């Protein structure tokens, strides 16, 4: 049996402005379940800044990935390095709340849930951000209906064995890999009579940095790029949205 109950995986591409805060809130959540049972894994993907240094100072296990330009592959690199019984994934510019790990353990140990996600809240809100969020929701709605209903994401959680049973994140996808994972995890759970869950008490605060950088109406004004991202397989669009803006 592993010495860790949790492995929290954080993919990171030049995240020195955010990674410390992300890890700090994981540490706060860890105090409610025993800090020595929580492993933090930062996958430093093509980082040219101090991301890895800051992560190491927080006691995180740093996995260096200089090959992948695919977020699914980066997440999977963290999964391979995870030693914990329960795996949680969260983005470097997001923070979990203090009860997150405690609630995840309770839901999984109930035997009723295969895993699940969490509801997101932006660190600020505006009309542009709200409309953009609705625009995204409408575009992915057909895929959600096909899967049997909307599934939460933002921060995924499940036993490591179930992450592995569904094959982790699909590396053929350069975007929407999170939604694809949620759908496959849900189907995997249905075979065992388990539900895909959403944390009720806990949530995730996610950065509005894309809107800060490009404007609150960016996704709506750039609908052509947004629709290309929604295909899940347009590498040029994914690079433009993720890698090429933070060199």
12 pairs with which residues across the strands? Answer: 44
Two tokens, residue 72: 């699914």
pLDDT tens by residue, 9-51: 999 999 999 999 999 999 999 999 999 999 999 999 999 999 9
pLDDT tens by residue, 55-113: 999 999 999 988 888 999 999 999 999 999 999 999 999 999 999 999 999 999 999 99
Q: Is the pLDDT of residue 246 over 60?
A: no
Q: How far apart are CA 44 and CA 58, in angstroms?
A: 14
pLDDT tens by residue, 170-190: 999 988 899 999 999 999 999
Q: Which of 173, 143, 164, 157 is nearest to 71 (CA)?
A: 173
Dihedral through CA 4, CA 9, CA 14, CA 20, nearest 10? -50
pTM: 0.92
Does the domain at 6-243 match CATH 3.60.20.10? Answer given as: no
């Amino acid at each position: 049996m592993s010495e860790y109950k949790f492995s929290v995986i954080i993919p990171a591409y030049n995240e020195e402005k955010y990674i410390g805060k992300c890890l700090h809130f994981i540490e706060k959540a860890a105090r409610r379940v025993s800090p020595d049972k929580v492993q933090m894994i930062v996958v430093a993907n093509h980082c040219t800044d101090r991301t890895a240094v800051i992560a190491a100072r927080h006691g995180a296990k740093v996995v260096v990935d200089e090959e992948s330009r695919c977020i699914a592959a980066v997440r999977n690199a963290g999964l391979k390095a995870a030693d914990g019984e329960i795996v949680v994934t969260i983005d470097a510019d997001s923070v979990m709340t203090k009860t997150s790990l405690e609630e995840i353990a309770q839901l999984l140990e109930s035997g009723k849930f295969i895993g699940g996600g969490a509801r997101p809240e932006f660190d600020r809100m505006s009309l542009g951000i709200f409309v953009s969020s609705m625009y995204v929701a409408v575009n992915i709605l057909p895929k959600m209906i096909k899967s049997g209903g909307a599934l939460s994401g933002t921060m995924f959680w499940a036993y490591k064995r179930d992450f592995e049973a569904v094959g982790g994140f699909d590396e053929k996808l350069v975007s929407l890999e999170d939604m694809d994972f949620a759908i496959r995890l849900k189907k995997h759970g249905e075979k065992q009579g388990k539900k895909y869950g959403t944390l009720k008490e806990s949530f995730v605060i996610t950065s509005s940095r894309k809107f800060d950088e490009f404007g609150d109406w960016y996704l709506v004004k750039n609908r052509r790029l947004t629709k290309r991202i929604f295909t899940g397989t347009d590498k040029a669009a994914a690079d433009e949205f993720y890698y090429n803006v933070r060199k």
